[in-house]
Amino acid sequence: MELRPYQNEANDRIQEEWASGVKKTLLVLPTGLGKTVTFSDLTKQLVSKGERVLIMAHRGELLDQAADKLFKVTGLKAAVEKADQTAKNSFYSVTVGSVQTLMREKRLQDFPQDYYDTIIVDEAHHILASSYQKVLEYFSEAKVLGVTATADRTDKKNLGEFFESLAYEYTLPDAIKNKYLSPMKAMTIPLKIDLSGVSMSAGDFKASEVGSALDPYLYQIADEMVKNCSNRKTVVFLPLVATSKKFRDILNEKGFRAAEVNGDSKDRAEILEDFDNGKYNVLCNSMLLTEGWDSPEVDCVIMLRPTKSRPLYVQCIGRGLRLAEGKEDCLILDFLWHTERHELVHPAHLIAKDDEIAKKMTEKMAEVEEDDQLQLFDLEEVAKEAESEVVQDRENSLAEKLATMKKRKRKLVDPLQFELSIQSEDLINYAPSFGWEMAPASDKQIAALEKFGIFPEEIENSGKAKVLLDKLNKRKMSGLTTPKQIRFLESRGFQHVGTWEFNKARGLIDRIAGNGWRIPVDINPKEYKGV
């Protein structure tokens, strides 16, 4: 099987991390982008070098999926370490293993501590659990790759307690732009579901209380579904099994062909197959189908389990983002949950670069009067508008500080001026996640920043220095403006010089120099776009 460019790049980056001395690294690929295919190909490469590889997960379905995909992609068969199956004395170089089985002392002792050269952990956002840690501590000399579809800033910071680096991340917006995932459309339903009385547990809303709060609104939600997604293949995520069953019955009353699955469903496999084959057009579940299940034809997802967790939200919505023949987009119905104290995750968080942009997007999409016709939003378009407004808001709030920076006589450019000029959200909002990132910038990094023309004393840590240097090197290769060009032209009133091409900026500076360092009369700096 031929890998996609980003999959090849991911595997190259992972091996580069290991080669550099980093033993524990992370791969982030959103749902639907073939993370199992990616690490299967990596496994083949490792086995060809004589390594033994353990692929570990916390659910049987994920292990079966990994073993099947490994064989289909590479032809490699795997031993199984799960329940009464064991990899002990197996001649296979690859093991797929259940963490619940491997964590047992007796099962661990069946293997020498240096038995595995590499351990791959699927759904790695679970890796901090004591079960995983026990196994990883036992095989402490092995290289580790964590693979997850979801890692926001908070999640990465938590994972940074174990992992040393993020080897590669392919973002959801990039995947949609490059047509590897379905475009997303969102519709905000002006139905305010009151959550103000719902308490919290483990950092999120209590499922039992959410179920009670949701109950009075189920018929209204069903009516909205009749209006907006009766011709779509829909998955609905609900907080409780009882609520899920009740909603299934309501939907069937409304003319849908709805089914329900839960952890105790004896006919679960049959129901899922019937859903795939079109017998049902709505599938209700109580957060069961968040991992390890795919039905590419799903083109509508409704999240009726409000959450503060972006990773959980992404897992759910991801069920509708796979490509399928005849599928144009995935519709997300977003309800206006009413809560007094807590910020909820909304469709905007799937695509926004930071929380500020997500908040602006959510506000724009919610600006609909109840009497107005509901609007279908293209999330990418809304993100562009919101990002532009946020950048402008930031510049306005920092206007005085930026004005001072632009007038400074120092030879080197202030990082903040550079970041705002190139409109780089990943720099402005950078926060260190891994231990090495929190250390001060190295002498080598400081020297490199100075060579590029950046004032390094305001760079808080080594991680920020690395991201900034990566950005500067890419800009140089792409032929974009230098920090010194930015400072010179912006000190004369030109705007966002960081978005210009190097040669256009150089040509303008040459004109200004040839005019006795005065701006030519035919140029208005505030209107000049550098194109």
Residues near 185 by beta carbon (within 8 Å), at least 6 away in sequence: 329, 330, 331, 332, 376, 377, 378, 379
User: Do 231 and 323 share a domain, yes or no?
Assistant: yes
Question: Which residues form the domain of 194?
Answer: 184-375
Q: How far out from the chain centre does Cα 470 lie?
A: 20
- Of 141, 170, 199, the one marking the end of a domain is 170
pLDDT tens digits, 91-126? 999 999 999 999 999 999 999 999 999 999 988 888
Determine the Cα angle at 278 with ends 179 and 263, to 5°. 90
- Within 13 Å, how many C-alpha atoms sit on residue 300's CB side? 21
CA distance 507 to 490: 15
In a domain, 499, yes or no: yes
User: Do 275 and 355 share a domain, yes or no?
Assistant: yes
User: Do 343 and 473 share a domain, yes or no?
Assistant: no
Which helix (H) or strand (E) is 214 found in, with range? helix 207-214
Helix/strand/coil for 282: strand
In a domain, 301, yes or no: yes
In a domain, 390, yes or no: no
Determine the Cα angle at 419 with ends 417 and 421, to 5°. 65
pLDDT tens digits, 340-354? 666 788 888 888 877
- Of 170, 195, 213, the one marking the end of a domain is 170
In a domain, 527, yes or no: no
Domain count, the chain: 3
pLDDT tens digits, 240-289? 999 999 999 999 999 999 999 988 888 888 999 999 999 999 999 987 77
CA distance 305 to 344: 11
Instruction: Specify the pTM.
Output: 0.79
Beta-ladder partners of 97: 56, 81
For residue 518, the model assigns a pLDDT of: 93
User: Do 324 and 462 share a domain, yes or no?
Assistant: no
Per-residue pLDDT, averaged over 4-19, amounts to 97
pLDDT band, residue 156 (cuts 50/70/90): low
User: Do 161 and 194 share a domain, yes or no?
Assistant: no
Task: Give the amino acid at 31.
Answer: T
C-alpha pair distances (Å), 145 with each of 9, 43, 47, 348 = 15, 11, 15, 29
Report whether pLDDT(368) > 70.
no
Domain of 70, CATH number, reads 3.40.50.300
- Of 325, 344, 375, the one marking the end of a domain is 375
User: Do 358 and 422 share a domain, yes or no?
Assistant: no
